[in-house]
Each structure stands twice: as structure tokens, then as C-alpha cells.
Amino acid sequence: MADVIPEIANRRARRAFANRPVPGELLDALWEAAGLAPSHGNTQPARILVARDPVVRERLFAACSPGNRNWAGAAPVLAAVCSDSDQETPQTNSDGTTRDLGAFCAGIVLGNVLAQATGSGLIVHPMAGFDEPAVRAAFEAPANVRVHVVIAIGFEGDPMQLPEDLRAKETAPQVRLPADIFVAEDRWTARNATTWRQYRDSLPGGRT
């Protein structure tokens, strides 16, 4: 990974969090990095809802899937990365279909947050396992707020604190698709349709 910047190369979605609060200035820097993300026409539709009040945090935690509740409670900070669909300016295609960019912009915001966190020595673990209406209710957010991920933020902890099934996952290397699958030059080919599972199972030794 010699050519990849450390803020990207060293990031992992860890689940073990240290029992250590996140200093306010590091959290503020995450939000500042988020605010620097590009968006179409600079519309900035992404919103980050941060649970500060213990009651709100408990509601947000309860909105997470049972699998995520197995570990996310140890994170000192929980938040949700959202977008405001009222602020959508959909792009129209020649066939009349439209493209909403709110989720896309929120994804770029998350990328900035992940890079800033890694550079600051923090872990930010995104979660798609949550109930969207319950997250909205936790923050008293209206229906036009789309919740894309809940994030658990903190410092890396000891994997031994995790339930056994998660412990091995914590440090296992991740199988990543090679560029010739996810980069198509000039035309889409059957190779580009290879799924992550197909690729993983094709490796010597099969599943890792």
C-alpha cells in the first residue's frame, strides 16, 4: 500500500473501543472535515446527528440492530450520517428517470470523516444495521431526513473485550477486490460483474 495515504490505508472498521472519551477538539475536527466534502452545486444536503444527551444516545443505541448492539455500546460517541431529501436537486436523465444525490453526498461526507478520524487516531465504524424511523425518532427528525449510516466513534480498544465471534473478525485481513474487477476501461465486461463472494471463493484456499 506504498502509494496510498495513511489516512486511507490504516482505516479499519474496528468494533473494540477503549473506555476513553473523545476530546471535543477531535470531534469538532471530524465535523469540520465533513463540512469540507464536495456536493452538487455546493448544496451540502448531508446532516450529522450526534447523540450527546444520554437519553438520545440510548434511543439511538436501541435503534441499532441486535448484532450491532453487541459491540457499539462501548463507543463513547454515536451519531447518524443523514441527508435532507427536501434539499435534493435531482438530476434528470434522457429517459425521464432521476438521480437523487443526497445519499451520494452523505457518502462523501462519511469518507471525509473516516479519513480525518484515522489521521487523528480515532476509529469510526459505520453501521447500516439500524431502524431508520427509530433513528429519526431518537433525534425528533422529520420524515424528509434520510438516515444512511449510524457511526460509532472512539479510540481503539482491546479485541479481547468483544464476544468471541467478533474477536477473530477484528484483526483478520480483509479481502478486497483487485482493480481489474472494479475498474472498467472503455467497456463493461463480465469480469466487472464478479461479486465479492465469487472473488473471495476463487482465492487459493477458498474462503478466508
Interacting residues with ligand FMN (CB under 6 A): 12-13, 68, 126-129, 149, 174
Cβ proximity to ligand FMN: between 187 and 207 the closer is 207
Of 171 and 189, the one with the shorter C-beta distance to ligand FMN is: 171
Query: Phi and psi at residue 88, in whole multiples of 5°?
Result: -70, 140
Output the nine-digit C-alpha cell for 54. 444520554
What is the C-alpha to C-alpha distance for residues 179 and 191, in angstroms, rounded to an integer?
11
Q: What are the contacts of 95-103 at 24+ separation with CB within 8 A? A: 101/39, 101/40, 101/45, 102/45, 102/46, 102/146, 103/146, 103/148
Least Å distance between CB 114 and ligand FMN?
A: 9
Question: Which one, 115 or 149, has the nearer CB to ligand FMN?
Answer: 149
The CA distances from residue 138 to 34, 102, 125, 159, in Å, are 22, 21, 20, 29
Which pairing describes strands 98-99 and 91-92: parallel, antiparallel, or unpaired? antiparallel
> Considering beta carbons, is residue 6 or 23 the nearer one to ligand FMN?
6
Closest approach of Cβ 127 to ligand FMN, in Å?
Answer: 4
- Least distance between ligand FMN and beta carbon 203 (Å): 16
Residues in the chain: 208
Shortest approach of ligand FMN to residue 192 CB, angstroms? 20
Q: How far is the CB of 144 from ligand FMN (least distance, A)?
A: 21
- Which residue, 51 or 127, is less far from ligand FMN as judged by CB? 127
